[in-house]
Structure 1
Amino acid sequence: MKDATDLPQSLLVLGGTSEIALATARRLIARRTRTVWLAGRPGPALEQAAESLRALGADVGTVDFDALDPESHETALGKVFAEGDIDMVLFAFGILGDQAYDERDPLRAVQVAQTNYTGAVSAGLVAARALQSQGHGSLVVLSSIAGERARRADFIYGSSKAGLDTFAQGLGDALYGTGVHVMVVRPGFVRTKMTAGLPQSPLATTPEAVATAVELGLRRRSETVWVPGALRLVMTALRHTPRALFRRLPL
């Protein structure tokens, strides 16, 4: 069960090698979290991530999870919930893709959409049902400001995040009053291995800053978290910018 500050004692991460997820897990372990499950594709990276958290004193397990294999989601998540209640499920899986290549290869574009959106729909419904059955818990979804408005530079990735964001918001409404809290996190450009080599956007942030925002959002039981917070105003302005002008912006 969560403590009086709404911080979890047990955590399930879908996307167990994500730098943002691991930064979040480290921060929560430093507070109250004692049990962590890292779900991801099996391999050295997942085991190394688990060992890094065990070194902090957490009891860490791993479970095979593939966003592109929705038929396995019931089994994978069921294995974790069968071990005991989970206070928080963190959705941190996804791929950025490469817009220039993906536009010329529809199968690559579809893989981005299936990983970031349809995989999350499947796993999200499974996780939501499990949390609702136990009567408590938080479902935290890492979205992106890229989903706020399609940009020429990354509309394939952005459209997949837009779908994820809308799904998560709707799921939060569906679960309202059940004891399950859904929180959507919208970071801007995060400096990680995945974004290495890309032009850095203004208001760029770090995995640690996102982790801090997640903790604060949990304490406040927020439904939407922007990282950094100033992006909320920026994206509100961009969302209402006339299309003819928006097309001319260097975004």
Structure 2
Amino acid sequence: MSIRTSRRCSGGGWAPEPEISDVRVIILGATSGIAEATARLYAKEGADLLLVGRQAERLAAIATDLKARGAISTQVAVTDLAATTDARQELAGFIERLGGVDHVLIAYGILGDQDQAWADPAEAARILTVNFNSAAAWILAIADRLERKGRGSLVVLGSVAGDRGRRANFVYGAAKAGLATLVEGVAHRFAGKGPRIVVVKPGPTVTAMTAGMVRKGPLWASAEQVALVVRRAADRGGPVAYAPWFWRYIMLIIRFLPAPIFNRLEI
């Protein structure tokens, strides 16, 4: 990791330059709205970025944009993260390409169709496989690597949907609940050691995933708002972060509502 602190002026002297940390970052699911917004924050800091996802053209476009925004280097890797059979081997290849890794963001997932998942076991399995099974494999692979390295951070995108099962999205919510428990367990293992792991739980966010919803009201956040929480979580804070912050208190109330009251709510 390098720090640049000065630059030569046109008059031949030296002038202060904002500190830029050359952080090596792997983003899994880099075409998601939140991931792209987070990558822009890293680019502004002068990071080296490896963008991983399925859409080659979209990844290439994002990489070009990030380079223009200040990233030291941008690379892409085209793969189906949910279909990976050996996350540890593939991760090793990503790290070798980047020359090491400091931060990792896991940002991929699907909302799925709750009504279809209720009627069709294949849809339920798809939601659970993408949002939990595959993500868990990547979490364990990355966590092992960071633990052996003795430093670095992993941020995982979860959801407030995992805090309490609701009729609208309980299959998706179950996957995110499992993901949060896994992250908290790894954070407990990391306690007193160098690495860190955080699950960031956004509330409703204006992204491609929510394109079919009515996205109005004060509880909706932009991808950029969530990205600020994600970037901060990589450096500091506890193992669970809500985005925006007020969802911590909203979900606290929802979790402790008595069932007779909760069951009357259309949420």
Which residue number in structure 2 is paired with residue 242 of structure 1? 258
Deviating above 4 A after TM superposition, structure 1's stretches of 4 or more consecutive aligned residues are: none
Which residue number in structure 1 is paired with residue 233 of structure 2? 217
Give the alignment of 1:129-208 within 5 angstroms. Answer: 129-200=144-215, 202-208=218-224
Q: What TM-score, normalized to structure 1?
A: 0.92
* 1:124 corresponds to 2:142: no
What is the letter of the counterpart of residue 233 of structure 1? Y
d(CA) in 1 for partners of 2:243 and 2:169?
A: 19
Q: What displacement does 1:219 show?
A: 4.2
> Relative to 1, partners in 2 of residues 1:74 and 1:57: Cα closer, same or farther, differing over 3 Å?
same
What do you get for the CA RMSD once the two structures are aligned? 2.0
What is the letter of the counterpart of residue 15 of structure 1? G
d(CA) in 1 for partners of 2:234 and 2:90?
A: 25
Q: Which moved more, 1:195-204 or 1:177-186?
A: 195-204
d(CA) in 2 for partners of 1:46 and 1:30?
A: 18
Alpha-carbon displacement from aligned partner over 1:179-219 (angstroms, at most 9, x marks no partner): 11111101100001110121336511011001112233344
Residue identity (%): 36
Contact map agreement 1:65 1:73 (CA 8 A) in 2: no
2:243 to 227, 244, 248: 227
d(CA) in 2 for partners of 1:233 and 1:146?
A: 14
d(CA) in 1 for partners of 2:79 and 2:163?
A: 28
Unaligned runs of 5+ in 1: none
Greater strand percent: which structure?
A: 2
What is the letter of the counterpart of residue 78 of structure 1? A
Contact map agreement 1:137 1:181 (CA 8 A) in 2: yes
User: Which structure has the larger Rg?
Assistant: 2
d(CA) in 2 for partners of 1:183 and 1:150?
A: 22
d(CA) in 1 for partners of 2:234 and 2:89?
A: 28
Greater relative contact order (CA < 8 Å, ≥ 6 in sequence):
1
Contact map agreement 1:8 1:87 (CA 8 A) in 2: no
Unaligned runs of 5+ in 2: 4-18
What is the letter of the counterpart of residue 75 of structure 1? Q
Q: What TM-score, normalized to structure 2?
A: 0.86
d(CA) in 2 for partners of 1:8 and 1:236?
A: 38
